[in-house]
Amino acid sequence: MQTAWTRKNLFIATAEADIEAEDLLVANCLAAAAQGDVSAYFDLGVTYSTGSHGASCDLIEAHKWFNLAAVGGHEEASVCRAEVADEMTAREIAEAQRRAREWLAAATRQAA
């Protein structure tokens, strides 16, 4: 029989491991995105639109990543981008588009 203290520490250790795994997942997606992986763009859009895998819900970042995925030819990305945009202001959409352009510009500089 486990004591409450042992169960609590087990829960904390499990929660910390889950957080580390989620952080690693986002980090891996960001690394793949830096290499131009369109699926990683889409996965990051999902992550930020739902606030999952340790990331906070951020519709501007979600729109940015869905936009990059759509430009890269991902089939579902433009639909997801439109759904996210329905919940955003015009100013937020403009900010997301600016961030997407910055990402593309930085990627182009790195490739050169």
Task: Give per-residue pLDDT as tens, 82-112.
Answer: 999 999 999 999 999 999 999 999 988 877 6
The domain locations on the chain are 4-111
pTM of the model: 0.79
CA dihedral 16→21→26→30, nearest 10 degrees, is 120
Mean pLDDT across the stretch 12-25? 55
Closest alpha carbon to 20 in 54, 50, 65, 45: 54
pLDDT recorded at residue 1: 43
